[in-house]
């Protein structure tokens, strides 16, 4: 297959995409399992609280577990959403643009989102280091607070990694659109010459 003009290692990009897809999908599935577990925990805890007079009760520290679990779940979905182009976009203003312009705007958006992901991951990691140094724990379970930070940092850095990959992917897609546009222009320029030649024969 002919290498795209200006594209950066397109074959390697596709192979890297398979690895990035597996990683982000696996983390998203883990986040989904965590959310189901948290939902079950909440239902059990609320049910126990409603039947206190029968000797039941809420799960101790349920809100602390939900807080840490939700932090992990949120950041576990971001990489998959980024890889699958799942973020909300307003396409009504760009549908009239040529494909290279649309992919160029997508490239800019991915660059900005990747920069935001880096800042987010960096600050979360700083918070994790801070919680580790102070050994802060939750009030009821006395669970180290850094557990939730560590899980969130994992998803945040993968979010940045996936964002960097999508910048690479968008660049190559923009190059492909430029190549296709040039081929269409060359084809349309050659068509009148072919028609005039057939008429002369």
Closest of 108, 126, 117 to residue 170, by C-alpha? 108
Query: What are the pLDDT tens digits along the chain (201 aa)?
Result: 444 558 888 899 999 999 999 999 999 999 999 999 999 999 999 999 999 888 889 999 999 999 999 999 999 999 999 999 998 777 777 788 888 888 999 999 999 999 999 999 999 999 999 999 998 899 999 999 999 999 999 999 999 999 999 999 999 999 988 888 877 777 776 666 555 555 444
Dihedral of alpha carbons 73, 78, 83, 86, sign: positive
Which token pair is 117? 């992901």
Q: Where are the domains of the chain?
A: 10-182
Torsion angle in degrees (nearest 10) through CA of 9, 14, 16, 17: 140
List, for residues 31-40, the tens digit of each pLDDT value: 999 999 999 9
Beta-carbon contacts of 82 under 8 Å, excluding residues fewer than 6 positions away, are 24, 113, 117, 159, 162, 163, 166
Which token pair is 162? 């996936």
How confident is the model at residue 194, as a pLDDT? 57
């Amino acid at each position: 297959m002919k290498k795209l003009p200006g594209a950066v290692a397109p074959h390697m990009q596709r192979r890297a995409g398979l690895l990035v897809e597996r990683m982000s999908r696996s983390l998203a599935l883990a986040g989904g399992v965590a959310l189901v577990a948290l939902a079950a925990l909440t239902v059990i805890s609320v049910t126990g609280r409603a039947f206190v007079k029968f000797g039941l009760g809420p799960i101790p520290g349920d809100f602390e577990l939900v807080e840490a679990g939700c932090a992990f779940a949120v950041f576990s979905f971001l990489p998959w959403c980024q890889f699958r182009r799942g973020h909300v976009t307003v396409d009504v203003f760009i549908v009239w643009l040529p494909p290279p312009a649309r992919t160029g705007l997508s490239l800019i958006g991915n660059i900005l989102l990747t920069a935001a992901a880096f800042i987010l991951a960096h600050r979360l990691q700083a918070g994790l280091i801070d919680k580790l140094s102070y050994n802060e724990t939750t009030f009821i379970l006395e669970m180290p607070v850094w557990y939730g930070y560590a899980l969130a940092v994992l998803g945040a850095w993968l979010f940045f990694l996936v964002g960097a990959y999508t910048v690479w992917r968008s660049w190559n897609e923009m190059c492909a659109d430029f190549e296709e546009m040039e081929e269409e222009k060359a084809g349309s320029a050659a068509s009148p010459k072919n028609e005039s030649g057939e008429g002369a024969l």
